[in-house]
Amino acid sequence: MTTQPGSLRVSGLAPRAVTHRRTSARMRAAALNCAGVLVAVVTLAPIVWMISTAFKPRTEIFSLTPHILPGHPTLSNFDRVFSGSAIGISFWTFFKNSLYVTGAAVLASSLLSLLAAVAVARFRFRFRTTFLILLLVVQMLPQQALVIALFINFRALNLLDSLTGLALVYTAFALPISIWMLHNFVAAVPREMEEAAAIDGAGPARIFWRILFPLVAPGLVATSVFSFIYAWNEYIFALTFLSPNFPAKFTLPIYVTYFMGQRSSDWGAIMAASTLYTIPPIVFFLLVQRKMARGLVAGAVKG
């Protein structure tokens, strides 16, 4: 039944030993499954609690005996978030802000990093190694340090309280890891295919779009997930650049914490806002989970 690798060797033993081996293997599998369920439960618990609070009416949220699931689920928390009755501005404003900043950063960084990745993976040139090391080092610079200088520069350029300014920063900060991950993907495309196309008379642009691009597309998906998560999550630059005087410019993370500061006991609505904020990255993740895991390792540890 359980085709354990060792079962062949065991079959030479007395039948009793075989059954013993089998039951112990089955018990081990059961124990492993229990551990798996335990990990899943502990991991999911905070997320489940967030969603359940978001659907609970106020009386249940502050009930003396809290229940895991809402007894009388309600949408009133979401209503307050969407209508903006809690802080005066609807959730959709912040959602659009975040979507704009994230979308712009993902598109721009994908394009720029693809170009750079081709350069790094396909050419040998001076400073190539220097550039690669720079990419690694730059990822480690603490953002609390950079935000000081960027705040001053952007103030001079009138880019504070501006979503475009944030999109610029997110593009730049998504570049190092994107280039690093993509150059592995580009290097994995067999050179012979491009050479064959060149012999058949295809020009550089044609080779790029017809041969390289389709083959690197999975890598682009993986890197764009990374930049998406980064820009969608980013807190410290948004916190510094977006002043509370212009709440309509807030991105979602700033909105959620601002909301918590303003309405510190309206946990139903705060959790509803957090849930809505969490949905896009999770949907994105589930769509590309497989490629994600591969790209993640390729980027961090080398594929």
Partner 1 sequence: MTKLSTQDRPGQLGRSWDGAPQDPAGLRPGARIGTFVRRHRLAPYLLLIPALIGVGWLIVWPTIQVGLFSFQNYGILQLAGVAPTQWVGLANFTAIFKDPEFWVSLRNSCVFAAIVVPLTLVTGTCVGLLLNRLGRRMSVFVSATTLLAWATPTVAATVIFYWIFNPDGGVVDWALARLPTWLGGGAATWAGFNWMSSALPVYTVATLLLVWQGFPFIAVSVLAGLKTVPGELYEAARVDGAGPWQVFWKVTYPLLKPIFLVLLLLSVIWDFGVFPQLYILTGSGANLDEYNLGIYVYQKAFSTPPSYGLGGALALVLTVILLVITVGYVRASIRQGALR
Work out how close the CB of 171 gets to partner 1 at its nearest, in angstroms, rounded to a whole number. Answer: 6
Query: Which parts of 75-94 interact with partner 1 (CB under 8 A)?
Result: none
CB of 57 to partner 1, least distance (A): 13
What residue has token string 């058949």?
Answer: 200
> Token pair 């404003």 is at which residue?
93
Residue of 3, 14, 199, 245 interacting with partner 1 (CB under 8 A): 199
- The reply to whether 157 sits near partner 1 by the rule CB under 8 A is no
- Of residues 32 through 61, those in contact with partner 1 by CB under 8 A are 32-33, 35-36, 39-40, 43-44, 46-47, 49-50, 53, 61
Stretch that binds partner 1, among 17-25, 77-85, 241-249, 295-303 (CB under 8 A): 295-303
C-alpha dihedral sign at 185, 191, 195, 200:
negative
Map residues 104-133 to x or -, x wherever contact with partner 1 holds by CB under 8 A.
-------xxx-xx-xxx-xxxx--xx-xxx
- Give the residue with the Cβ less far from partner 1, 55 or 173: 173
Beta strands in the chain (DSSP E): none
Reading the block at residue 173, the tokens are: 């900060």
Choice from 12, 140, 158, 245 touching partner 1 (CB under 8 A): 140
Token look-up 């979308």 returns 103
Q: How far apart are CA 63 and CA 43, in angstroms?
A: 24
**H-assigned helices in 11-90:** 15-54, 58-61, 76-83
Residues 69, 35: Cα–Cα separation, whole Å: 24
Query: What does the alpha-carbon distance between residue 171 and residue 182 come to, in Å, rounded to a whole number?
Result: 15
Q: Min. distance of Cβ 129 from partner 1 in angstroms? A: 6
Amino acid present at 63 = S
Give residues 262-281 in contact with partner 1 (rule: CB under 8 A): 265, 267, 270-271, 274, 277-278, 281
* Beta carbon nearer to partner 1, 22 or 122: 122
CB of residue 51 to partner 1, shortest distance in Å: 10
* Residue 1 touching partner 1 (CB under 8 A): no
Neighbours of 82 (CB within 10 A): 16
